[in-house]
Amino acid sequence: MNAIRWQQDPDGVVVLTFDDPSRSANTVDDTYATAMEGVLDRLEAARDRISGVVLTSGKRTFFAGADLDRLVRAIPAQADEIMVSVTRVKTQLRRLETFGRPIVAALGGSALGGGLEIALACHHRIAVADPAIEIGLPEVTLGLLPGGGGVVRTVRLLGLSTALTEVLLRGQRHRPARALEIGLVHELVGTRDDLVPRARDWIAANPDVTQPWDSTGYRVPGGTPSSPALAAVLPTFPATLRAQLKGAPYPAPRHILAAAVEGAQVDLDTAFTIESRYFVDLACGQISKNMIQAFFVDLPAARSDRGLVTDRPPTGRIAVRGTGTTAAAITGLLTTAGIDVVLKDGPDEADAVVNTSSDRVPTATEDTVELRFPPPLARMPLVEVVRGEATSDGALARALATIRPLRRTPIVVTGGRGSFTGRLLRARIAEGMAMLTDGVAPASVEQASGQAGYSLPLLVLLDEIGLARHRADDVLERMTEEFGRTGRAGGAGFYDYADDVRGRLWPGLEEHFGQGRRADVPFTGPLADLIERLLVSEAIEAVRCLTDGLLTSVGDANLGSILGTGYPGWTGGALQYVTGYQAMGYQTTGYPSGPAGFAARARELAERYGERFAPPPAVVALAESGGGFTLRST
């Protein structure tokens, strides 16, 4: 069966319907490319009898995008193969837009990634005004760039500035109304049924049409890098990007910016080639693999029903134990999501219990799970679902169903061994405090956090959580007991606050904790060490959690770290960081990649900063076997 259905009507309009019978959503894979090849041959052979073409979809979505199952496995040795396939897709779309008849994209469902790239090769884009439809190029969120002409065409359609900020660099998923405002689509219709008739009308009214960039006198909106007005602000584009990324090593937005700017300086075909080169580099690199695994594979798996069946209908109720501010905040969270909250001690009649009281007695039973919410509540979109030794699969399934309206990603951990995210965060906090007592400037601790890619700088995070929570640490104990600095809520922490607005780092930090440091000599040791001390300390703790049996799913561990402690997304999570280890960017070279590289780097950190960095046996075993953390189960 063909992935593209052909239907020609007496008015000469050909309606092409993407409907790959082998998949639930249309994908830019070999099946598509082969079908497209056939369609283009047929169109060109019958050009005289064709008045226009409408592209539409037989699926719920218009088109899903790239073949990520393939890209997640791409290695540098396959660069030529990836180059060939991405070039083929582009060449076909170029044939389509220069076919010589009006081409209309009729978007009855979401067009993301490759789907929007196909639509961008059409002369006219019509979408249904349904707010559930998403339109955008979210490749960047998976460590990739739109390699099917999406960078080149959005720049030429919208101008560099709009294409970069509204579409490419953050990968926004726009509703149709917003896509219309930006200029990604040309018009909206009320229903799916209106699409093809409207497309026919447009074709009839616009028999001779070319893409803007193929028209005489075309200029890139807003100018090219050689236009003085744009050249004057161009240096701020990379700087702003570095500021937004806080220096974290995300290659995709960097490559997107480069491909967009370089492409705007040359002709269309050369621009396509430049885009492909940057795409292949990303596709074959480690970071796109990490991000695809975490956000395309593990995330939907964690949010799914995990193949579990409820033993009886959920009560839809959650019991909250404790009376403090945390209990109140969590209660607010649950009730806002429409979940019934019972404020009593017994777990009876509830699917899950939240225990914020200080007893920390495990509350999971055969019938009920415990829920833990990593702090700060508003910043960590995760919930730890703790099952006891005796908790049944049916009870777990009930709890998962009950918390679904929270729209927080659940990870499943085993009770009695502490909180997964709590253990990771404690490891990172201990490392950050060790840096302060080593004499590292507090600003360097914050920079290391940002440049590692953490969602919040460590000292900001501690101030938000409150220092009293982790008083086992010497620095934190002195901060709270001796200096009365308990965090943001207390009006003073690592930072000074005025009217709840964070000011500067507390000057006393260096005076009281940086004893090893001479005031006139800034810390000049390698920043890469600071960055990796944070990342590695947390990764080692994640390995220990897995070894201890605190959780069994590698995917849950990875998501738990990203969504529950703010571990950098580019790593794919704290365990994937070990599996896909690469030494930090430009600063350190000469390490092997993967677990062997991680083990070597951990040993080096152990020599410099302490035995806590010695790679755990599980990592040493992987380093020797050459494998990675890939085990997965509920």
Partner 1 sequence: MPTEAFVFDAVRTPRGRGRDSGALHGIKPISLVIGLVGELRRRHPGLDPAAIDDVVLGVVTPVGDQGGDLARTAALAAGLPDTVTGVQINRLSASGLEAVNLAAAKVRSGWENLVLAGGVESMSRVPAGADGSAWANDPETNLATGFVPQGIGADLLATAGGLTRDDVDAYATRSRTRASAAWAGGYFARSVVPVLDRAGLPVLDRDEQVRPGTTPDSLAGLPPSFARIGRDGGFDAVALQRYHWVERVEHVHTAGNSAGVVDGAALVIVGSEAAGRAAGLTPRARVVAAAVSGADPTIMLTGSSPATRKVLTAAHLTVDDLDLVEVDEVFAAVPLRFMHDLRIEADRVNVNGGAIAMGHPPGAAGAMILGTLLDELERRKLRHGLVTLSAGAGMGVATILERL
Residues with active-site annotation: 117, 139
Cβ of residue 284: shortest distance to partner 1, in angstroms? 17
* Cβ–Cβ < 8 Å for 550, 412: no
Q: Does 236 bind partner 1 (CB under 8 A)?
A: yes
Cβ of residue 530: shortest distance to partner 1, in angstroms? 8
Instruction: Let me know the angle formed at the C-alpha of 302 by 299 and 304, rounded to the nearest 5 degrees.
Output: 110
Beta carbons within 8 Å of 19's beta carbon, 6+ residues apart: 3, 4, 5, 26, 57, 58, 59
Q: How far apart are CA 627 and CA 563, in angstroms?
A: 25
* Cβ–Cβ < 8 Å for 341, 335: yes
Near partner 1 by CB under 8 A, which window of 166-174, 437-445, 473-481, 625-633? Answer: 437-445
- Kindly write out the interface string for residues 193-232 of this chain, putting x where it contacts partner 1 by CB under 8 A and - elsewhere: --------------------------------xx-x--xx
Q: Does 533 bind partner 1 (CB under 8 A)?
A: no
Check residue 63 and report its DSSP letter: B
For partner 1, give the closer residue by CB, 213 or 523.
Answer: 523
Near partner 1 by CB under 8 A, which window of 365-373, 435-443, 469-477, 563-571? Answer: 435-443
| CA distance to 58, 103, 170, 179, per residue, from 175 (Å) | 20, 23, 15, 6
Composition of the chain by helix, strand, coil, percent to 5: 50, 10, 35
For partner 1, give the closer residue by CB, 234 or 606.
Answer: 234
Backbone phi and psi for residue 558, each to the nearest 5 degrees, phi listed first: -65, -50
Q: Does 526 bind partner 1 (CB under 8 A)?
A: no
Q: Does 451 bind partner 1 (CB under 8 A)?
A: yes
Q: Does 118 bind partner 1 (CB under 8 A)?
A: no
Q: Is the backbone of residue 171 left (phi > 0), alpha (psi -120 to 50) or beta?
A: left
* Cβ–Cβ < 8 Å for 535, 571: yes
Task: Return the residues of window 248-267 that contact partner 1 according to CB under 8 A.
Answer: 254, 257-258, 261-262
Cβ of residue 165: shortest distance to partner 1, in angstroms? 13
Task: Return the residues of window 496-525 that contact partner 1 according to CB under 8 A.
Answer: 504-505, 522-523
For partner 1, give the closer residue by CB, 170 or 246.
Answer: 246
Cβ of residue 304: shortest distance to partner 1, in angstroms? 38
Cβ burial 510-532 (10 Å sphere, 16+ → b, else e): beebbeebeeeeebeeebbbbbb
For partner 1, give the closer residue by CB, 58 or 247.
Answer: 247
Amino acid at 613: F
- Kindly write out the interface string for residues 299-338 of this chain, putting x where it contacts partner 1 by CB under 8 A and - elsewhere: ----------------------------------------
Q: Does 16 bind partner 1 (CB under 8 A)?
A: no
Q: How far apart are CA 139 and CA 142, in angstroms?
A: 5
Q: Does 163 bind partner 1 (CB under 8 A)?
A: no
Can you name the residues that pair with 154 across neighbouring β-strands? none
Q: How far apart are CA 6 and CA 40, in angstroms?
A: 11
Q: Does 244 bind partner 1 (CB under 8 A)?
A: yes
DSSP string, 180-236: HHHTSSSEEESSGGGHHHHHHHHHHH-SS---GGGSTT---TT--TTSHHHHHHTTH
Q: Does 170 bind partner 1 (CB under 8 A)?
A: no
Cβ of residue 407: shortest distance to partner 1, in angstroms? 32
Residue 243 tokens, joined? 């500021």
Cβ of residue 278: shortest distance to partner 1, in angstroms? 9
Q: Does 243 bind partner 1 (CB under 8 A)?
A: yes
Near partner 1 by CB under 8 A, which window of 6-14, 46-54, 369-377, 447-455? Answer: 447-455
Q: How far apart are CA 58 and CA 107, in angstroms?
A: 11
202, 237, 567, 581: which one contacts partner 1 (CB under 8 A)? 237
Q: Does 378 bind partner 1 (CB under 8 A)?
A: no
HEC string of 321-351 equals ECCCHHHHHHHHHHHHCCCEEECCCCCCCCC
Q: How far apart are CA 564 and CA 425, in angstroms?
A: 9
33, 40, 241, 297: which one contacts partner 1 (CB under 8 A)? 241
Please give the residue ranges that form the binding site for partner 1 (CB under 8 A). Answer: 225-226, 228, 231-232, 234-244, 246-247, 254, 257-258, 261-262, 440-444, 447-448, 450-451, 504-505, 522-523, 527, 530, 586
